Chains A and B, each alone.
Chain A
């Protein structure tokens, strides 16, 4: 049967995951050497190499096996996976860069951080590659376990502990609900493999009470992970309490992994859209409104970004809702494909801006000061113009101002949902985006127009030392995010070869 070649084909399909696992194991096994002494400088480069290596392997991977299932139907490779994985691994790499500087300056650096990061990334990749709800669940757990630990990585900080505990308890609840949904799915489809689920849905499984419950529980479980209203309560406290580098990582990783999985699941159960589409639309509209409204009242930038993350989850759910249009004629099919591409681009823009913004906060933090509030950003444009204007750019991108990547992402999703003919969602999206501009611009106001509270030294403590630090990881991350945000805002087609989802 040519078993060896089949095994090699299967394994090469998950090569990025294998790279991540390998490097993570190397870090874990080498932890005694990497913990202190000269070896401690190697931990972050190893972590970065892991993420970057996986990214390169992904880009070099041959595309002839695409669309195939691996491991007898447990996993698959397709363009949704490869484009999502591109965004995820890029975000992971940038997060390693942010973490390197931040953990070092906060005296938190341990090699395990990077190993956990890589394992968590592999979990998110598994979610994207899952062709079976069991694999999806395992990926979700692998990703989430890492994120819980990273949120509590500052072990002596009560807020970090609180963040980890809250995230863990609510995350465990979400996982349980999702598992319940998977179980009920097995009840109606007699299988957890997505193709079988799809045919069960085509036979009308989602008209059954059990099918309805299964679909809703799956939706709720995934909504927890992306922090959509009303399942968002954990996110502000977790964002605030977690170390800033971990916040950057968990905000992007969880969202990318869960949204791509969400797209796939909803694409699978598109045949029963009448069951879940109203729920998704309601959650999306609520998230957009509530997230943007509460974000206005925040003075802590991390909390504000958490609520803005809720709003962004709403925008992304608009794309997910488009999956429901797939079987509603040609326009609907077109809308669903546009929405997939749009969502992935949106995730890329969001990850770049968010990691950049948290990178700036990480940059401004030092051993005895953790930059979090608007006051910490006061007058940044005059004290450290480069970082200040970078932050301005990230805020503009998050707000979706034209000529930034954020605008293009938002426009693609907007266009997709209009193609699908859902005017209500489109209008809500446009109005709430306008609402969001207020609080993003308030950050800009603080940076550009407010006087610096402390005369000198700047928030880093030493104005002179700031320049050499810019050369370290976080500086590189901010630079990459800046260039990519502007570049993609002006030339979105530059990256379309990686990001276009083909069906």
Chain B
């Protein structure tokens, strides 16, 4: 889609695009909580054949605001004998990874009319780094620190148990998550989120979820399951299983600190969905090129919303796992399936690559020379 290059004083559209992307993503992640709590409760009500929120405002739309005001004015309780610094730090740490990851999510691709018949490509992304997906994985693995530290510093046995569960769960499912992601990298030949999306251009048949059929589907499934587990959502919400652990790691938290934990969970859901869309569903790519007149960011948002709905749907229909089932499933089902699928997909990819047609693998760089020393006498 070609758009005119608008100038804002000394800046033009190309220059501000990263900041626009960052602002959009930050707003989405930070505002996710009010919107998503309402969305989740309404959907749950729908699925459970209940009424859902309907008191505050039309269709309960103002319910999140009421909740927010309530949380804000609650007393901030500091239990005795907690490790204060870590207790305060934990919610902040849990909020940090999704916010950082927001900078990596590409939202759309445009061509900017530079005037004089010249156009140049412009990607709506804050930071396109060539190991982007690895950064996302790294940030996902840092997310668990917030939970662990919150649970540990609370000086409460339920909190500690919740923290232990969350760290074990995070480590177990991270492997499957990474393997799922690796398959997307295998199909797109890149670790940059922008290039991964660009490699899927051309409609649903080019998306990674249908790539290397059926392994794209398997990988997307593995990723989806692991992502639900990584975000500690039902049916993998054992760290906060209310029937066993009161509220798990957040038992002792109240007021805004609790709210921040709450926010970080929803932020992680949003980021997880965004990454899934980038990896498997073609990012901003329309479902068919015919529908290209709808702007990319809208496609992106629509797909993300669909996935968030899936998160809620799963939560409303599946019972919580038992802890040993969770571990058994992660290590003895999901991981082997992911490993075998990765090997088969790699073989299939190698078989399909036509050497004469040239591959999409970037050319080999110049032979690495020692950057220091060597001939230089010391």
Contact = CB atoms under 8 A, between A and B. Distances in A.
Chains A, B in direct contact (C-beta < 8 Å) = yes
A253 to B, nearest CB: 33
Nearest to B371: A190
B372 A190 contact: yes
B377 A188 contact: no
Interface string B71-114: 00000000000000000000000000000000000000000000
A30 B374 CA distance: 48
A205 B378 CA distance: 7
A479 interface: no
A208 interface: yes
Range, interface on chain B:
under 10
Interface in A153-194: 187-191
A14 B284 CA distance: 51
Given A190-B370, A190-B376, A191-B374, 13 more contacts: A187-B373, A188-B373, A188-B378, A189-B373, A190-B372, A190-B373, A190-B374, A191-B370, A191-B373, A203-B377, A203-B378, A205-B378, A208-B378
Interface string A15-33: 0000000000000000000
Of listed B373, B376, B377, residue having the most chain A CB within 10 A: B373
Interface of A: 187-191, 203, 205, 208
B373 to A, nearest CB: 3
A163 B376 CA distance: 47
Contacts of A191: 370, 373-374
Nearest to B376: A190
Nearest to A196: B374
Contacts of B373: 187-191
B130 to A, nearest CB: 26
A188 B374 CA distance: 9
Of listed A189, A190, A191, A205, residue having the most chain B CB within 10 A: A190
A410 B378 CA distance: 41
A170 B374 CA distance: 34
Nearest to B370: A190
16 contacts: A187-B373, A188-B373, A188-B378, A189-B373, A190-B370, A190-B372, A190-B373, A190-B374, A190-B376, A191-B370, A191-B373, A191-B374, A203-B377, A203-B378, A205-B378, A208-B378
Top 4 A-B residue pairs of the complex, sorted by shortest distance between their CB atoms: A190-B373, A190-B374, A190-B370, A208-B378
Contacts of B376: 190
Interface in B335-378: 370, 372-374, 376-378
A187 B372 CA distance: 9
Nearest to A186: B373
A1 to B, nearest CB: 14
A203 B374 CA distance: 11
Nearest to A190: B373
A238 to B, nearest CB: 32
A140 to B, nearest CB: 25
Of listed B370, B372, B376, B378, residue having the most chain A CB within 10 A: B378
Contacts of B378: 188, 203, 205, 208
A203 B378 CA distance: 9
Contacts of A205: 378
B331 to A, nearest CB: 19
A187 B374 CA distance: 10
B374 to A, nearest CB: 4
Contacts of A190: 370, 372-374, 376
A56 B373 CA distance: 43
Contacts of B374: 190-191
Contacts of B370: 190-191
Contacts of B372: 190
Nearest to B375: A190
A189 B376 CA distance: 10
Nearest to A188: B378
Interface in B57-82: none
A195 B197 CA distance: 46
